[in-house]
C-alpha cells in the first residue's frame, strides 16, 4: 500500500485538493486498485478548521512524517502560508524533494515552495506571478502562465484549477492509464459525457 500524505492546517482551502484526494482514495478506475491510501498530516494531531469551517483531525503530526514512507506530499493553499506558521511544511517539502519523493502545492502553498527555494530552477505556476515575488525567491523567470505545471518532483497549480492540479498528481503517481486519465479529466473538469463512457467501459472490462 502506497500512502499519499495530505497536509492539513487552519484556513485550508477545502476545494483545492478534494478532487485529488477523493479519487486517490477511491480505487475506481485505478491502474492498480487498492494500491493507494490517503493520510492527513498536521503540525500536531490537534483538530484544524478549514476555510469552509470543516473540522479535520490529522492522522499524524509532521514530526512523524518520513519521505521514505510516502508516495507524495500534497500541500493545499491556506491563508497562513504568507506568514511563518507553516514553515515546517515548507521544510518538509524540501526533505521530500531531496529524497526524490514528489510534492504538489496549490495556491498559497506555492508561496511556501518558493520560500523554500524549490521553485528557483523549476517551471512553476501560482495564482499570479506577482504573488510569488514577495516570497523573495529567484525563480521568476521560470514562471508559467498555466493552470498547473509539473517539473521533476514538484507540481504547482493556481487556486482556480483543482481538476488540473488533480490531473498532474494522478499522472505523477501513475494512478490511471493515460486514456483513463484523459477520460477522467473530460468528465470532471468539462462535464463531457464521452469521458463517462470511457470510464464506464474501463470499469466494466476490469470488473471481477
Residue of 80, 101, 107, 109 with catalytic role: 107
pLDDT-based confidence at residue 207 (cuts at 50, 70, 90):
low
Q: Among 3.40.50.300, 1.20.1250.20, 3.20.20.70, 3.40.50.880, name the CATH number for the domain at 2-176.
A: 3.40.50.880
pLDDT-based confidence at residue 208 (cuts at 50, 70, 90):
low
Average pLDDT over residues 168-178: 97
Q: CATH 3.40.50.880: which residues of the chain?
A: 2-176
Mean model confidence pLDDT for the chain? 96
What DSSP string describes 91-140? HHHHHHHHTT--EEEETHHHHHHHHTTTTTTS-B--S-HHHHHTTT-S-G
- Tell me the sheet residues that pair with 155: 104, 150
Share above pLDDT 70 across residues of the chain, in percent, rounded to a whole number? 99
What is the chain's Cα-based Rg?
A: 17
Q: Is the pLDDT of residue 66 over 90?
A: yes
Q: Is the pLDDT of residue 206 over 90?
A: no
pTM assigned to the model: 0.96
Q: What is the pLDDT of residues 95-125, one digit of tens each?
A: 999 999 999 999 999 999 999 999 999 999 9
Residue length, the chain? 208
- Catalytic site includes residue 107: yes
What DSSP string describes 32-59? STT-EEEEEEESSSS-EE-TT--EE--S
**Rounded CA separation 25/101 (Å):** 19
Average pLDDT over residues 174-197: 97
pLDDT-based confidence at residue 48 (cuts at 50, 70, 90):
very high
Q: How many CA atoms lie within 13 A of 115 on its CB side?
A: 22
Q: Which residue in the block uniquely carries the three cell numbers 463512457? A: 197
**Rounded CA separation 86/29 (Å):** 34
Of the candidates 116, 42, 30, which has an alpha carbon nearest to the alpha carbon of residue 76? 42
CB 54 within 8 A of CB 17: no
CB 123 within 8 A of CB 144: yes
CB 115 within 8 A of CB 136: yes
SS3 state at 169: helix
What integer pLDDT is reported at residue 205 of this predicted model?
85
**Rounded CA separation 62/53 (Å):** 22
Amino acid at each position: 500500500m502506497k500512502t499519499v500524505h495530505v497536509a492539513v492546517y487552519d484556513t485550508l482551502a477545502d476545494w483545492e485538493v478534494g478532487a485529488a484526494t477523493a479519487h486517490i482514495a477511491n480505487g475506481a478506475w485505478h491502474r492498480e486498485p487498492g494500491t493507494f491510501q490517503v493520510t492527513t498530516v498536521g503540525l500536531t494531531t490537534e483538530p484544524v478548521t478549514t476555510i469552509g469551517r470543516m473540522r479535520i483531525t490529522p492522522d499524524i503530526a509532521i514530526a512523524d512524517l518520513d519521505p521514505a514512507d510516502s508516495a507524495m506530499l500534497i500541500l493545499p493553499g491556506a491563508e497562513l502560508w504568507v506568514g511563518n506558521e507553516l514553515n515546517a511544511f515548507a521544510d518538509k517539502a524540501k526533505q521530500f524533494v531531496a529524497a526524490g519523493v514528489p510534492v504538489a502545492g496549490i495556491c498559497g502553498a506555492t508561496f511556501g515552495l518558493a520560500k523554500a527555494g524549490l521553485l528557483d530552477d523549476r517551471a512553476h505556476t501560482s495564482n499570479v506571478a506577482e504573488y510569488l515575488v514577495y516570497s523573495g525567491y529567484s525563480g521568476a523567470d521560470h514562471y508559467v502562465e498555466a493552470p498547473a505545471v509539473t517539473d521533476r518532483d514538484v507540481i504547482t497549480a493556481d487556486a482556480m484549477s483543482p481538476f488540473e492540479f488533480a490531473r498532474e498528481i494522478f499522472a505523477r503517481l501513475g494512478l490511471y492509464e493515460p486514456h483513463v486519465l484523459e477520460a477522467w479529466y473530460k468528465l470532471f473538469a468539462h462535464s463531457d459525457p464521452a469521458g463517462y463512457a470511457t470510464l464506464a467501459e474501463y470499469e466494466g472490462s476490469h470488473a471481477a
